[in-house]
Amino acid sequence: MHLNKATSVEYNKNDRTVVVFFADGSQASWPVRLLEMTERTETGYAPITPSDDELANVELFGGDSILWDELGQIFRIEDLQNHVCGRKAWMESLAATIS
């Protein structure tokens, strides 16, 4: 048994975070504003701004990822734990806003 295996995920609309619960009783959360959510267009990627109702439809995928199937968004839990919330350009833009 892996103590840190993800067992469930939910969206908390009060603070707009996605929360992952683990088998050992721990949990981790990330603000949705940090996650690079995009849709593919003819010219590249365009950001999307999902509603709370859309974000509430989050689920575990493959035991190691969180998925918003209707939105076409998937994030590896390990990446999120390592503070990787999107592509390199996205991460650089986040770092610039924090600095």
Domain definitions of the chain by residue range: 6-98
Contact partners, residue 5, CB within 8 Å, separation at least 6: 22, 23, 63
pLDDT per position as a tens digit, 29-78: 999 999 999 999 999 999 999 999 999 999 999 989 999 999 999 999 99
Query: What does CATH list as the number for 6-98?
Result: 3.30.2020.40
- What is the pTM assigned to this prediction? 0.91
